[in-house]
Amino acid sequence: MILGVIADDFTGATDIASMLVRGGMRTIQVIGVPQGPLPPADAVVIALKSRTTPAAEAIAESLAALACLRKHGAKQIFFKYCSTFDSTAAGNIGPVAEALLAALGSDLSIACPAFPENGRTIYRGHLFVGDQLLSDSGMRQHPLTPMTESNLVKVLQQQSSGQVGLLPYSTVAQGVAAIQAGYQQLRHNGVRLAIVDAISDQDLQDIANASVDLPLLTGGSGIALGLPAAYAAKGWLRPSANADQLDPLTGPAAVLSGSCSLATNAQVQHWLTAGRPAFRIQPQALAADAAVAAQALAWASTQTQAVLIYATTSPAEVQAIQAELGVAAAGELVERCLAEIAIGLVAAGIQRLVVAGGETSGAVVQALQVNQLRIGAAIAPGVPWTQAADRPLLLALKSGNFGTVDFFSHALQLTE
Ligand code: ADP
C-alpha cells in the first residue's frame, strides 16, 4: 500500500477513491475500520462517518483507522474531508488533523480542499465556490455545517490548538522547489497546519509533488489528482492502465432511489418519461405498516427490464410527509424499506445496483453487509462503479446532487 486515506464520510471516500483510480492506482474502499486482512491495493480508503460526530469520537475512530493503515504499510496518510470544508468553529478537521499529526510524529501538514475542476479554489486562504466566496455560497445555509467564514486559516485556527498558517499563491505559483522551501519557512515559524492556496490543476500537481515526503496530507479529493504522478515520479507506483477494471457483470439491474434532491428528482422523472418500469414507495404506506417491500419485490420479479424503485419526491411533498411523520422517522422508514428491498433484489440475482442518496446508500450497503468495495471507472465526476469485494455485485452509490438527468440509464449502459 502506498496511500492510506481516512475519509470523514462515505460518498467523500468514494470520491477520492475514484480520483486515485483515474491516476492508475488500484484502490479499495472499506466501510469502517477493517478488522481482517485487506486485499493487495495501491491505495486503501477507509470511510468513516466522522464529519459531525463529537470531536473525541472522530479522533478515536480516525486514530484506529490510522493504526490499521500503518499496520498494512501505508507510506503516506491522507485525511479527506469536503472541498467546501464542511466544518464549523466546533468542527472536527483541526482536532482530527492534529491528532493524526501527533500520532505520526510529524511536525507539519497541509490543508488543501481546493478542487478547481469542481469550482473550488483557494486564494490568500479564502475558499471560493465558483465565483462566490464560500460564505456567500449555498453552504452558508447548510443544515449541519453552515459555512459563514471563507478564510480557512481563521476557521481552522478556531478548531486547532497548534498554529495554523498559509502557503500563499505567490509561493505555490513558483512550483515544487518554492513550495518545499515554503514548508521549511512555515516549520521555522512554528506552523503545524498550513492552508495551501491553489487555483488550477497544475497547482495541485505541484503541491502533490512537493508533498510526497509529508507523512500526513489533509484536504479534499482535488489534491489526490496529483498524487499518482507524484508517487510514480518517486518510484513508488507503476500506474496501472486497468486500475478501474471490475468484473464484467451484466446480470439483472435495478435502481433504488431515496434521495429527494433536485438532481435526483430530475433523474427519476427522466426514467419515468422514458416509460421504463418504476415502482413508487409512499412513506404513508410504510407508516401504516403495509408490506411495501414485499410488494415492490413481487412487482420487480415480474419485470424483464431494469427497474426503478423510488421514494424520491418533491421538496413540498417531503415537507408535508415530514410534518405528518417526523423528519427522522420518515427518513428511517424509507431507508429501512429500501434496504430491505436491496436485500431481496440481490437474493433474487440482481448483479448491478444503482443507489441514489448518501444516507440511502449507507443504509443499503450496511444492510447488504458489504464492507469492501473495489473502485471502477467513473460514471459521473466523483461517482464510480464499484464492486463488492466478496460477491458478483456492482454498486453505483450516488450522493444526491451528482449526475446528469440520464444518470441511471447512463450508469447501466456503461456495464452493458
Ligand atoms: P441525498 O444524498 O440527496 O441527501 P439521502 O439518501 O442522503 O439523499 O437523504 C434523503 C433522506 O430522505 C433519506 O433519509 C430518505 O430516507 C428520506 N426520504 C426519501 N424519500 C422520502 C419521502 N418521500 N418523504 C420523506 N423522506 C424521504
User: Tens digits of per-residue pLDDT, 80-116?
Assistant: 998 888 777 778 999 999 999 999 999 999 999 999 9
pLDDT at 400 over 90: no
Q: Which pLDDT score, from 0 to 100, does residue 84 have? A: 82
Q: What is the mean pLDDT of the chain?
A: 94
- CATH ID of 3-233, from 3.40.50.10840, 2.40.110.10, 3.20.20.140, 3.30.830.10: 3.40.50.10840
Specify the pairing of strand 120-123 against strand 383-388. Answer: unpaired
- Are the C-beta atoms of residues 103 and 66 closer than 8 Å to each other? yes
Task: Please tell me the pTM assigned to this model.
Answer: 0.87
Q: For residue 358, report the distance from its CA to the centre of ligand 1, in Å.
A: 9
Torsion of CA 242, 244, 250, 253, to 10 degrees: -170
Q: Which pLDDT score, from 0 to 100, does residue 137 have? A: 83
Residues 6+ positions from 392 with CB-CB distance below 8 Å? 247, 249, 251, 351
What does the alpha-carbon distance between residue 364 and residue 187 come to, in Å, rounded to a whole number?
Answer: 45
Under CATH, what is the fold of the domain 253-413? Molybdenum Cofactor Biosythetic Enzyme; Chain A (3.40.980)
Ligand 1 atom having least distance to the Cα of 261 = 3
Q: For residue 328, report the distance from its CA to the centre of ligand 1, in Å.
A: 10
**pLDDT tens-digit map of 11-67:** 889 999 999 999 999 999 999 999 888 989 999 999 998 888 899 999 999 999 999
| Residue to mutate, 52, 332, 359, ligand 1, most ligand atoms under 8 Å from C-beta | 359
Q: What is the mean pLDDT of residues 187-208?
A: 98
Q: Which pLDDT score, from 0 to 100, does residue 90 have? A: 79
What is residue 73's three-state secondary structure?
Answer: coil
Block residue for cell numbers 447501466? 412
Q: Taking Cα atoms as reference points, which of 320, 302, 299 lies closest to residue 310?
A: 299
Amino acid, single-letter form, for residue 274: A
| Residue to mutate, 262, 335, 360, ligand 1, most ligand atoms under 8 Å from C-beta | 360
Q: For residue 258, report the distance from its CA to the centre of ligand 1, in Å.
A: 5
Task: Indicate which residue's Cα is closest to atom 20 of ligand 1.
Answer: 311
**pLDDT tens-digit map of 160-178:** 999 999 999 999 999 999 9
Q: For residue 321, report the distance from its CA to the centre of ligand 1, in Å.
A: 11
Cell matching residue 210:
512537493
What does the alpha-carbon distance between residue 97 and residue 92 come to, in Å, rounded to a whole number?
Answer: 8
Q: Taking Cα atoms as reference points, which of 257, 249, 263 lies closest to residue 359?
A: 257
Q: For residue 256, report the distance from its CA to the centre of ligand 1, in Å.
A: 12
Which position has the higher pLDDT, 271 or 136?
271
| Residue to mutate, 86, 259, 319, ligand 1, most ligand atoms under 8 Å from C-beta | 259
Residues with CB under 6 A from ligand 1: 258-261, 264, 283, 311, 313, 318, 321-322, 330-331, 334-335, 357-360, 399-400
Q: What is the mean pLDDT of residues 387-396?
A: 95
Q: Which pLDDT score, from 0 to 100, does residue 143 have? A: 64
Ligand 1 atom having least distance to the Cα of 313 = 23
Q: For the chain, what are the domain ranges?
A: 3-233, 253-413
**pLDDT tens-digit map of 228-261:** 999 999 999 999 999 999 999 999 999 999 998 8
Block residue for cell numbers 422514458? 274
* Residue 360 Cα to chain centre, angstroms: 14
Q: For residue 211, report the distance from its CA to the centre of ligand 1, in Å.
A: 39
Q: Which pLDDT score, from 0 to 100, does residue 408 have? A: 98
Q: Which pLDDT score, from 0 to 100, does residue 203 have? A: 98
Task: Indicate which residue's Cα is closest to atom 24 of ligand 1.
Answer: 318
